[in-house]
């Protein structure tokens, strides 16, 4: 028996205005939401030419059998609701059964699918745009579904010309993908544009993988300025974060894992911030609402991007209390911080006595109190990061030490030792090919060389590539190298100076190997200390955590110097 059914006339009359394909991005939204509803753990999206040429969405979800495929292109056919009562308890992203039928009317469409119980899959396709005639053939296809949409709006020239700006369409498509990435944490999502990977996020398995999503989608500034939200009220839950004083305004609102645009929520957030005099020109947030389905109505908008709340005063109260809670915490922290500035718990002499002498591993209780009173409060203003193998990262001291706490014990770690050990283990385990070990530059680093230097560079280039450098190919300028990425342990080093010094060193060597270069770099890094920022350390520790299974814990534990009370 087919799981897809034609809706009754009673249900059809209750459904809001029909689906409208506004632009390529709306097609991608509908197709990916279908994949999510099909319980997919892997979704791949490939878009060409702003979506007007091709949109391809593949998933490994439940799939469809032959009978499902024959019905899926008809209007008001769905497996997600069966009777009129289901409209009051919708748990899926789609439910109207209109998306594929609407897409079919403005494009050529091909659907390939298979279910886990069948050896053979099926391909359904149309030859003409908007054609009612469909063809279906057996094919080999893994479990899941592939939908290919081609020649979008070919039969509507006016609309096609309206969407002729490929960059504008890419912008809208990218925003849709980003909104999906931030909520579909248990799904591996890959997004290609013109056959180039834009995003590749494996499913979130720990805090670090979630941090990676937030950092890439929302940006470092948004991540590091965030105020975490978590509040429950009236059988509802709101969680996520709010970031103030950001350069960009990034706003995502989700209700029951559905991306929405709701003016009431947007105005409420702004109003609460204004009332508490902490509004900035730009602020960002990602907020997730969990609300019982019976208390909302999502059947009010063709694109299902808005929601009707039956108890709107409860929603207001939830938002108000959630934001007041984080504002209250923030004010307490600022108050403590301003008091600490007056008392000056640390002097440069204190720091020198406590940390500079590496032979002193014992710290007085008085000194420890100074750390806890001043710096633990400081840390509350930054997001608190807990690392499985390192513990809780607290602060940087004198650009030389990290202070962390693990199992209620304070430790100091020498930054140089962390970097060099990371460097050493990556090479010993041949891990440098992993992306986590590389740092992309915001812009290409260009280094002009003399004839002699360039000749030396060509000899050591294969070793540098092996060590993690990425150079631009097909460089048209003679005697010049362009660097796209470098090993992550060089993020605080001037790579230009490093390579020039390395070439000088190589010029006096009669024989050199990859190990020669490796150990020269190790020495160079150790004696060229730069200023470390909070986010630099976070990036380094994240990379450490990801590679921890390949790095000997025996050596890492030697880095931990206990601060005894």
- CATH classification of the domain holding 230: 3.30.230.10
Q: Which of 154, 307, 317, 289 is nearest to 230 (CA)?
A: 289
Domain boundary among 208, 232, 251: 208
Q: Check residues 70 and 112 and name the one with the higher pLDDT.
A: 112
pLDDT > 90 fraction of the chain, expressed in percent and rounded:
22
Q: Which of 379, 274, 362, 358 is nearest to 565 (CA)?
A: 362
- CATH classification of the domain holding 107: 3.30.565.10
Tell whether 291 is covered by a domain: yes
- Model confidence at 307, in pLDDT bands (50, 70, 90)? confident
Helix (H) or strand (E) run with residue 539 in it: helix 534-546
Tell whether 339 is covered by a domain: no
- Model confidence at 563, in pLDDT bands (50, 70, 90)? confident
pLDDT at site 375 = 39
Token pair recorded at residue 107: 């494009």
Together in a domain, 43 and 136: yes
How is 216-266 classified by DSSP, letter by letter?
Answer: HHH-HHHHHTEEEEEEEETTEEEEEEEEES-SS--EEEEETTEEE--HHHH
The residues that bridge with 226 in the sheet, in sequence order, are 243
* Mean pLDDT of the region 172-181: 94
Together in a domain, 238 and 356: no
Q: Write down the mean pLDDT value for the chain.
A: 77
CA–CA dist 284, 315 (Å, integer): 19
Domain boundary among 281, 306, 334: 334
Q: Which of 224, 562, 564, 547 is nearest to 403 (CA)?
A: 562
Helix orientation angle between 415-428 and 514-526, rounded to the nearest 10 degrees: 170
- CATH classification of the domain holding 431: 3.30.1370.100
* Mean pLDDT of the region 341-353: 32
pLDDT at site 47 = 96
Contact present, 66 and 92 (Cβ < 8 Å): no
Q: The domain containing residue 416 runs over which residues?
A: 344-565
Contact present, 246 and 214 (Cβ < 8 Å): no
Tell whether 151 is covered by a domain: yes
Look at residue 98 and give its three-state secondary structure. coil
Beta strands in 398-499 (DSSP E): 401-406, 409-414, 438-448, 470-471, 480-487
Vertex 389: Cα angle to 387 and 391 (nearest 5): 50
How is 489-532 classified by DSSP, letter by letter?
Answer: GGTTS-HHHHHHHHHHHHHT-SS--HHHHHHHHHHHHHT---PP
Parallel, antiparallel, or unpaired for β 196-201 and 236-244? unpaired
For residue 432, pLDDT over 60 is answered with no
Contact present, 529 and 416 (Cβ < 8 Å): yes
Tell me the per-residue pLDDT of 444-461, one tens digit each, with 9 for 90 and over.
788 888 777 888 888 899
pLDDT at site 176 = 94
**Cα separations in angstroms, 136 against 84, 112, 133, 415:** 32, 9, 10, 63
For residue 32, pLDDT over 90 is answered with yes
- Best mean pLDDT range from 36-45, 350-359, 393-402, 493-502: 36-45
Together in a domain, 15 and 139: yes
Together in a domain, 186 and 306: no
pLDDT at site 426 = 59
Token pair recorded at residue 14: 């209750």
Tell me the per-residue pLDDT of 126-153, one tens digit each, with 9 for 90 and over.
877 666 788 999 999 999 999 999 988 8
Q: What's the whole-model pTM score?
A: 0.59
Together in a domain, 264 and 305: yes
Count of structural domains within the chain: 3
For residue 166, pLDDT over 80 is answered with yes
Tell whether 88 is covered by a domain: yes
How is 274-330 classified by DSSP, letter by letter?
Answer: HHTT---SSEEEEEEEE--GGGEE-TTSTTS---EESSHHHHHHHHHHHHHHHHHHH
Tell me the per-residue pLDDT of 39-92, one tens digit each, with 9 for 90 and over.
999 999 999 999 989 999 999 999 998 888 888 888 777 777 666 666 667 777
* Mean pLDDT of the region 373-385: 43
- Least reliable range by pLDDT among 57-66, 336-345, 379-388, 405-414: 336-345
For residue 493, pLDDT over 50 is answered with yes
Vertex 396: Cα angle to 393 and 401 (nearest 5): 100
Tell whether 15 is covered by a domain: yes
- Best mean pLDDT range from 116-120, 206-210, 488-492, 554-558: 116-120
- Least reliable range by pLDDT among 122-126, 333-337, 376-380: 376-380
* Mean pLDDT of the region 300-305: 68
pLDDT at site 336 = 41
For residue 423, pLDDT over 90 is answered with no
How large is the C-alpha radius of gyration of the chain?
A: 28
For residue 485, pLDDT over 70 is answered with yes
Q: Check residues 75 and 358 and name the one with the higher pLDDT.
A: 75
- Least reliable range by pLDDT among 216-230, 286-300, 378-392: 378-392
**Cα separations in angstroms, 458 against 225, 461, 517, 543:** 44, 5, 14, 30
* Mean pLDDT of the region 108-127: 89
The residues that bridge with 252 in the sheet, in sequence order, are 286
Domain boundary among 166, 185, 208: 208
Together in a domain, 171 and 268: no
Together in a domain, 267 and 386: no
Contacts 24+ apart (CB under 8 A), 232-237: 233/314, 233/317, 233/318, 233/321, 234/311, 234/314, 234/317, 234/318, 235/292, 236/289, 236/290, 236/291, 236/292, 236/295, 236/314, 236/315, 236/318, 237/289, 237/290
Together in a domain, 361 and 322: no
Tell whether 256 is covered by a domain: yes
CA–CA dist 134, 69 (Å, integer): 10
Together in a domain, 355 and 279: no
Tell whether 372 is covered by a domain: yes
- Model confidence at 443, in pLDDT bands (50, 70, 90)? low
Together in a domain, 108 and 244: no
- Model confidence at 275, in pLDDT bands (50, 70, 90)? confident
Q: Check residues 70 and 4 and name the one with the higher pLDDT.
A: 70
Together in a domain, 487 and 541: yes
For residue 433, pLDDT over 50 is answered with no
For residue 101, pLDDT over 80 is answered with yes
Query: How many residues belong to the chain?
Result: 565
Token pair recorded at residue 37: 């509803």
pLDDT at site 201 = 92
Location of structure tokens 């080999």? 140
Token pair recorded at residue 176: 């849709």
CA–CA dist 153, 129 (Å, integer): 9
Tell whether 213 is covered by a domain: no
Location of structure tokens 């940390």? 355
How is 109-129 classified by DSSP, letter by letter?
Answer: EEEEEE-TT-S-EEEEE-SST
* Mean pLDDT of the region 498-517: 84
Contact present, 198 and 192 (Cβ < 8 Å): yes
Together in a domain, 378 and 277: no
């Amino acid at each position: 028996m087919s799981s897809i059914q034609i809706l009754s006339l009673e249900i059809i009359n209750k459904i809001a205005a029909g689906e409208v394909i506004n632009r390529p991005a709306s097609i991608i939204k509908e197709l990916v939401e279908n994949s999510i509803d099909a319980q997919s753990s892997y979704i791949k999206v490939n878009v060409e030419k702003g979506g007007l040429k091709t949109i391809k969405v593949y998933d490994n979800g439940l799939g469809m059998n032959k009978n499902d495929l024959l019905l899926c292109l008809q209007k008001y056919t769905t497996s997600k609701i069966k009777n009129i009562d289901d409209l009051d308890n919708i748990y899926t992203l789609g439910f109207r059964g209109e998306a594929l039928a609407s897409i079919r009317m403005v494009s050529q469409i091909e659907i390939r699918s298979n279910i886990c119980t069948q050896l053979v899959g099926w391909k359904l396709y149309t030859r003409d745009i908007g054609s009612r005639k469909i063809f279906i053939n057996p094919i080999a296809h893994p479990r899941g579904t592939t939908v290919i949409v081609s020649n979008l709006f070919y039969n509507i020239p006016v609309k096609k010309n309206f969407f002729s700006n490929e960059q504008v369409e890419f912008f809208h498509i990218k925003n849709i993908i980003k909104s999906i990435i931030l909520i579909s944490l248990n799904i591996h999502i890959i997004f290609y544009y013109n056959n180039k990977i834009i995003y590749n996020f494996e499913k979130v398995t720990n805090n670090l993988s979630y941090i990676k999503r937030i950092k890439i989608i929302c940006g470092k500034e948004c991540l590091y300025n965030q105020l975490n939200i978590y509040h429950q009220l009236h059988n509802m839950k709101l969680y996520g974060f709010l970031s103030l004083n950001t350069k960009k305004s990034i706003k995502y609102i989700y209700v029951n894992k559905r991306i929405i645009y709701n003016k009431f929520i947007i105005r409420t957030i702004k109003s609460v911030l204004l009332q508490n005099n902490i509004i900035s020109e730009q602020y960002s947030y990602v907020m997730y609402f969990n609300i019982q389905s019976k208390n909302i109505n999502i059947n009010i908008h063709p694109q299902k991007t808005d929601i009707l709340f039956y108890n709107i005063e409860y929603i207001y109260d939830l938002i108000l209390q959630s934001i007041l809670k984080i504002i209250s915490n923030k004010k307490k922290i600022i108050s403590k911080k301003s008091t600490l500035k007056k008392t000056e718990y640390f002097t440069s002499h204190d720091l020198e006595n406590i940390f500079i002498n590496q032979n002193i591993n014992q710290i007085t209780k008085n000194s420890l109190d100074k750390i806890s009173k001043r710096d633990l409060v400081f840390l509350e203003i930054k997001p608190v990061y807990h690392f499985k193998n390192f513990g809780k990262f607290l602060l940087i001291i004198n650009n030389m030490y990290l202070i962390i706490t693990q199992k209620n014990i304070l430790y100091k770690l020498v930054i140089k030792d962390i970097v060099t050990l990371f460097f050493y283990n990556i090479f010993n385990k041949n891990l440098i090919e992993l992306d986590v070990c590389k740092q992309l530059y915001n812009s290409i680093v260009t280094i002009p060389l003399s004839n002699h230097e360039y000749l030396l560079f060509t000899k050591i280039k294969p070793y540098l590539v092996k060590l993690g450098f990425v150079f631009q190919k097909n460089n048209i300028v003679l005697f010049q190298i362009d660097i796209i990425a470098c090993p992550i342990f060089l993020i605080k080093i001037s790579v230009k100076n490093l390579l020039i010094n390395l070439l000088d060193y190589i010029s006096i060597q009669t024989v050199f190997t990859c190990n020669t270069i490796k150990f020269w770099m190790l020495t160079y890094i150790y004696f060229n200390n730069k200023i470390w920022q909070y986010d630099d350390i976070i990036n380094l520790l994240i990379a450490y955590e990801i590679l921890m299974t390949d790095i000997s814990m025996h050596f890492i534990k030697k880095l931990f110097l206990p601060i005894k009370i």
